[in-house]
Structure formats: C-alpha cells, structure tokens
A and B are shown apart, each in its own frame.
Chain A
Amino acid sequence: MKSWNEIPYDIQRVISNTAVAPGAYILKFKKNNPFIAGQVLALGVSKEIEPRYYSIASAENDELISILYTERVEGKLTPMLSLLNLGENIMVSKPFGTFTHIKPSPVFIAAGTGIAPFMSMLLTGKASGVTLIHGAPYPEYFYYSDTLIGRLGENYIRCCSRCQPGCLFVGRVTDFVKQWNDLDVNRPYYLCGSAEMVVETRDILISRGVPVSNINSEIYF
C-alpha cells in the first residue's frame, strides 16, 4: 500500500517489547516527536516490508511511546516486530491523524487492540466522564485492565465473547450495545477496531437513536 521511500522516518531503539497476552505485545521506544492522543504512526523494520499504522497507546507527556500490537502469523511485519529485542532498531514515522477531538463525557467502544488510542487519551487526562466498552475473546486480552479498573470503575465494561458467565459481560461488544440500558443518545461515541466491528456497532447505535453526527470512528486498515 505504501513505501518507506515516501514516508519521513527516524530510527529508534527498542526499549522493551513485552508479551502481554498470547500473540499480543507492547512495544516501547523513545518518543521522537510530540503527538496528540489518538494519533497513529507508521512502524517498520526494513524498507522491504510495507509499513503499517498503529495507534499510540501512551500518554502525550510520556518519554516513551507505547504501541500495542498483535502478531499476525500470515503477516509480514508483525512476526518481525515480535522478534525485536532491547536495543534493536525500529523505523518510526512522525505521528499523524485526527482521531483526536474528544468531546466531554464520551463513550469509547473498542475491540482488541482498538483500545490503544483510548488508553492514550485516558492516560493523558484528555477525556473526562468516560465510559469505556472493550471487547475481547478471552480475559487475558483485556489489555491495561488493572489500570482501567482503578480509573474507571463501573464505567469500564468488558465484553468477553468466549468467557464463562461471571463478572464480565459474556458476548461481543455489539451484543452489549444492543441491550445497553444506560445508552444515552446525546453522548458522543468513539469507535475503534476492525471495519466489521465499527460498521456493525455504528449501525446498532444509529438504530438505537444516536445521531450519526455523534459517532466518530477509527478503523484498522
């Protein structure tokens, strides 16, 4: 889709590359440019492999940038990313993107690693009165849950599609939104995840009376 020949980039050293769940990692490196919570940057390991975009998960004032990614066995980049060790080089573009204008009392809805931009916003302190709905297949994929439970309490809703009934909502994010009693059509909604999740959730929100002008989406592509 795009080439490193056209993207200005820096070489950064890996500070850490930690497995946080099976096939999921948090990669950290030194911040090379200021960014706004919600922005993305392109990552790469060599000019021969197409860069991919990732949302930044760390706070604006952190000295390090954190990237949450899952390894795709069939992919070209993420298997290489997962092998990176402390001190090894990584190609990093300037941050960009405009998924950054968050209105008060937002509802964040994310699936999988789609939580990254919302973590950045929360850690930066840019969003107040947040409700966060996060979907994942198993409990170990609720990244940052310790932090989020502490910060958001009951306003942190975990939708676990393959869990046994218990303290989490059993089902997908879309199942939850369909039956969410506290859904407020006047709040702004921010979605991040795969195209399928975003489109389906957006349709449900619209069918429940949320004006499309209150829905903002970020899609992996």
Chain B
Amino acid sequence: MVPLYGKTLDELKSIVTAEGLPSFTASQIADWLYHHHAESIDEMTNLSKKAREMLSAKYTVGLSKPERVSESADGTKKYLFPVANNRFVEAAYIPDDDRATLCVSSQSGCKMGCLFCMTAKQGFQGNLSAGEILNQLRSVPEFKNVTNIVYMGMGEPFDNLENVLKSLEILTSKWGMGWSTKRITVSTIGLIPAMNQFLEKSNCHLAISLHTPFDDERRMLMPIQNVYPIADVVDELKKYRFSDHHRVSFEYIMFDGLNDTPRHVKELVKLLNGINCRINLIRFHPIPDSPLRTSPDERIIQFRDSLTAKGIFTTIRASRGQDIQAACGLLSTKALQEKR
C-alpha cells in the first residue's frame, strides 16, 4: 500500500489521473490530508464511494504513531517513530511558554560523521520520505500545540534535499498545512549546492552548523570541511539578502578550550562580516567516550557578550531534554537498530 501522506498536490494529481478520477479529486484529498487531518481514506466523504474504494485498494493515508515517548523533567518529550525498513527515528517536542517547537529528523542515522554528535555513531541507514518527515509532526499527541518546527533532528537535511523540499512545500502551501515560513528552520552543516537550491526554492529560515571559524579545527570536528570549507559556505550566503522574514543563523557548540577563546570571537566577526545573521551558542552535551567537554557557563556568557559587543546578535540556547538524551547532538536509535 502506498502512503498518501507526504504527497504534494502535483503528486496527488498524478495519482488521481492514473486512477481515472477527476483532477479536482487531488485537491480534495490534499484538503483531507493536510487541513482536516483525516486518518483514513474512508473519512474523505466528499469523494465518491467508488473513488474511495479505488484508492483504498492501492493507497493508505500512511500515518504511524510513535512507538515510545520519554519525558524530561523540563517538559521536553522525545518520541520514537518507526520508519521504512525496520528503522527508527526520533523527534523532540520542546514546549516553552507561548511556543512549542518540534525538532524533526530527516534521515535515519547520518553519514556526516561529526565528532560531537551521537547520531554519527550509528552510521547511515536511509533517507526519510516527505511523509515520514511530516508524520513526526502530524502524529505527536501535541500536534495542535506545535508553533515551530526545526529540521535539526537525526540526519543532514540537505543530504535528503528532495524529500525535505517536498515536506516544506506541503507545510507551507495553501493547499497544504498553510504554515508561515517564519515558523520553520532547516539546519545544515553546509552542503553548498543543496544549500543554494534550498535558498532559491524556499523562504524558510536557514541554520548553519559552524562551531569554529578555523579550518583545521572544523576539519577535526566535521569531516565535511574537507569538501565544503566554511569560508566557501559563507561566501555563498553573502550572495543572498537575509532579513527577519528569511533568516540565517549559525549554530555554535561551545567546546572547552577548543573554540571558546577571544581569537575565535575575532575570527568569527571577520568571517561573518557582511551577513545579517545571528549566532546561537549551544552547550555541548557530552556523548560517551568523547574527548570534548562543554565550556564553563561563565565563558559561554563572556563569548556571547564579546560577539554582541562586536555587533553580532548572539543568544545562548537553553539545553532542553538532556536527561532523556533529547538535547542537541544526543539523538540516536543505534541500540534499537542493533536489536533488529
């Protein structure tokens, strides 16, 4: 059975045409899937009974509920979702005053091999379909409370660009969920060609994993630096005009004694000169056997203040869900994959 959830309007049109149904049926199905949140084809009551029977023979809505939830003392919840080929991914629901953010995965595992990331240790198992990405939003019990979505879970979104773009089209189209692009952020380590495609095709916010402005250090932390150096990534970004409506931010994990010195502040300012951006400082959440340690809080504050004084809007991101391994860099389903 082929899942309908995650199909774009064009894909739904192809399906109804192939089934010999009127073309407007595609809009009706999109309406049921993305506005009325139907869970079965039988619920699509403005489709003829014959159409529903024809569709049901080959298609299903294709939603899948999380198999497990872990809840943090701070209210963060981590959901475990099954995806194709007996794999799993995790999504983190992070409530905070008047907003609630869902951090979704775009791949099962990851092939980028960053030194500080738990997902890297499980290797790469596969790309998620657009439906599997969106199912993480649709199928959390807090679905209707979610105000923001960030593609910062397992995987590198731009290594699965086609499905990520499809999911963004569904999230933001009028025929889809109708979300504002301002509520969506996609995070990348800087795969330049895919990043450029994203910037041309989407107005959602972009976040870049930066972590150090120096080549040798970044190469040690992130092997991708060998292919796409951060200076080249930033040069590409300078070709675009960013604003509050289409924002670029830089993620900067703070490692004790490695990337938290005045020398780094100076180089960061030089690197980002000319880009309207912000920097989010993130405490490193230690992973087993890692040689890295998080910077002391006072140094993180000092680092933020130094960058702010140089004119770069800088925030310190609150660590959430660390006690349930839901914080930044800690998502992994390796143990489950090994059991299968």
Contact = CB atoms under 8 A, between A and B. Distances in A.
Nearest to B115: A212
Interface size class of A (residues with CB under 8 A): 20 to 34
Contacts of A182: none
A7 B193 contact: yes
Contact of A6 (B113, B124, B161, B196): B196
A98 B112 contact: no
A196 B225 CA distance: 18
The dominant DSSP class at the B interface is: helix
Contact of A206 (B215, B223, B291): B291
A3 B292 CA distance: 36
Interface residues of B, number: 31
Contact of A216 (B193, B194, B219): B219
Interface string B187-230: 00001011011000000000000000001100110011111010
A206 B289 contact: yes
Interface in A190-220: 194-196, 198-200, 202-203, 206-207, 211-213, 215-220
A212 B194 contact: no
A215 B111 CA distance: 18
A212 B332 CA distance: 22
Contacts of A6: 193, 196-197
A219 B197 contact: no
A199 B197 contact: no
Contacts of B112: 195, 219, 221
Contact of A2 (B197, B215, B220): B197
A40 interface: yes
A99 to B, nearest CB: 4
Contacts of A217: 113, 223, 226
Interface of B: 110-113, 115, 120-121, 123-124, 156, 158-159, 161, 191, 193-194, 196-197, 215-216, 219-220, 223-227, 229, 289, 291-292
What 10 pairs between A and B have smallest CB-CB spacing?
A: A2-B193, A196-B123, A195-B111, A217-B223, A99-B226, A195-B113, A219-B223, A219-B113, A1-B194, A221-B111
11 contacts: A2-B194, A3-B193, A98-B226, A195-B123, A202-B115, A217-B226, A219-B223, A219-B224, A220-B111, A221-B112, A221-B191
Given A97-B227, A98-B225, A218-B227, 19 more contacts: A1-B159, A1-B161, A1-B193, A53-B227, A96-B227, A99-B226, A195-B110, A195-B120, A195-B124, A196-B123, A202-B113, A203-B121, A206-B289, A206-B291, A212-B220, A212-B292, A213-B216, A216-B226, A221-B191
Interface of A: 1-3, 6-7, 40, 53, 96-99, 194-196, 198-200, 202-203, 206-207, 211-213, 215-221
